[in-house]
Structure 1
Amino acid sequence: MALLGMVSAVAGFVKVRYLIDKAVIDNMVFRMHYRITSAILFLCCILVTANNLIGEPISCINDGAVPGHVLNTFCWITYTFTLPHANNKGIAHPGLGNDYEEEKRHHAYYQWVPFMLFFQGMLFYIPHWIWKNWEEGKVRMISDGMRGTVANMPSDDKGDRQNRLVQYLMDTLHMHNAYSFGYFFCEVLNFVNVVGNIFFLDTFLGGAFLTYGTEVVKFSNRNQEDRTDPMIEVFPRITKCTFHKYGSSGTIQKHDALCVLALNILNEKIFIFLWFWFIILSVVSGLVLIYSAAMILMPRTRETILKRRFRFGTPKGVEALVRKTQIGDFLLLHLLGQNMSLRVFGEVLDELSRRLHLGSNAPSAPSTLEMAPIYPNIGKFSKETET
């Protein structure tokens, strides 16, 4: 029950929220980082600390000269080891043997796995935290009352809110470039973060993580007689530990212990899943960066987004919006389109393109609409300077 309580705390990262309750300020790939990936990492952290799943994480046996609880504690807080070259068929377990003169592979990572998973979960949440503070609720405020289908809204009220929104977009035209810079900067952070975490795990596991997934795939395709499980090589289930103590005559006695690392049965599954997930996430994050770069550098891409993504196909309207707005204005429109129905957003774009087309060479007339009731804090956004 305690485990279920901890897992339920993680569920908040992936819960579904209705658009009318919370504004959407990013895209699906962005949410894969801070909601799904952070939730996965925090859940894994909980699993590896839940002793009721596997019992004690380490259990060592010896000749009985050292109490079991003392030996278990010692081997857990120090390290255990295996012999990398002891993998032939004449041994009881891979990595174990009697030749202690050869090179040993020490395993101390298991002490740090929960801390590392929690730290990674925080790393994947940081870009969202930066963007949320940079964004300061702008999309939420200017789309208040218009998110979702607005099916129950009176037509007069809906038209009034649409006019207020369009007037705000006209009054703050070309003033959202700093806003867009923060968004694209956090997208870059997401990509750098997932790639950096791949190399971070590779260092953490002694250079075994980069090829971990491919080795596991190759292992499944080999003959059973000729293969050695790479998961056991990276996360051995049976290791050795050496305990030294003084004997009755004052000489140092060496006690060899055979240790069962039950926790590694979870670790090997967790890290093979993270390998595939990080590879997929890095690929889609890279594609999103290419998409964002095309949107910034190529106006034709913005036209295609308006026509296909939002089904806004008026030639003059698309021309006015793309040619007479900057990337910051377009990003704000793109985020607004994710929070409104296509019909309502199309009406907003129609009105905005009409005003841009008719009044592009003349100063805009002062608005007769009172902005304060709908956007109480909107004044601070009008003070943004163009970057």
Structure 2
Amino acid sequence: MSRKIPADLLQQIYAALSQKNRRFGDFSQYTPLDDIIIARGWVYRIELEELLLATDSRVAYLDLDRLTEYLEIPWRTVYKRPRYLSAGAVATNALTLADAACLFVRLEEMGFDSHPERLVEHGLRAQKDLTHVTGSEWTLLSYPKRRLREEFYARSDGRNDDGEWVPHNWKDSLGRRIEFTLVGDQPHLLTVTGPKYRRPKPQVSTTCPSCGCRYTKGDPEGALFHRSEHARVMRFMNPRPIPAFRTRLENHADPELVIAESPIWMHREVHQRALQFKSEFQYDFLQWEGSQRKKNLRQESHGHLFSDHTNTYGPGAAVGACAFWQEGDKWRMRWIWVCPTMRHSGVLTRRWARLLERYGDFEIDEPLSEAMTAFVKKHGTAQQKQRLQPSSLSESSEM
């Protein structure tokens, strides 16, 4: 856990682990109770205590409420489904099967003989069709691979300025190395190292200079996420010709305008660039009402998908986009994004007159980048120049 452990809870763990476990069984002798739990999917408090004490008598030293609170495992209020909705119902505190199994795993990591294997097995069976998992369910997924390969560390939230620091350590029957550091007669640190523990390679948080994705180097999941995000972003950072866009440029009177009647692929292209604009400027919300699955049907919202007039990426390549919003009889430009290699190439300049003709003397949402501020000073209307604020001289983006 990243946060400190309550001093009284650490004292209880120290007192418990200093004793001998007088139970050495597993759940086999409690099969009926266990089967009921599996079928129900919930573990009542009294059942949880029985299961814990069945494998490790030392758990009796622990305050279960303090322990689950520290481990961030939530108790839930559950009711037996009533036969009559007009009747009353009796509430019971319980853990989900996954949360109960996670508690058993955490206790094993702390040095207890909790034998989580069977609960983990049933918990994994219950989540096999899930596409998303909770923190507890993730613990169960990783348990078979990480069992006895973990290092548990806890630091007391109590004061430690009174007394000598004295290590007290031993190895248990499973080969776990358990070390308490005492300050005076009070435990202050606990480290439990599994017999198969190996110090992990350092994982460095890094940002890809090409796509801007922030991920953890050395983490397989981070690498997969970066690969996926890199492919998505580079698709419009270094755009390829879109056959449908090329055809539209040849046959449509207003090929770059994106409104409710436009094909959904155009809405998707604008949506992707709206996401990139939001990411670069660190906005709190997306300024485009469509998505990858649905069009933007708001009549007061217009988008424009910019084609490559320089033929750098070929006919039909989309090198940028912008969005407008109508309030009353006035329009305002909400955002504009152009791929980095096409900035300073006249993408906006060659469209500015047409945008003014369509939307009138429109406002431009602030803050503006330095490049956009310079552009407005050079090409903007008198009203647009007058609206410029000193704060407009701010961070990134380019036309």
TM more than 0.5 = no
Please indicate the TM-score interval, normalised by the length of the shorter structure.
under 0.3
- The one of the two structures with greater contact order (alpha-carbon pairs below 8 A, sep at least 6) is 1
Higher helix residue share? 1
TM-score by length of 1: 0.25
TM-score by length of 2: 0.25
Higher strand residue share? 2
Indicate the structure (1 or 2) with the bigger Cα radius of gyration: 2
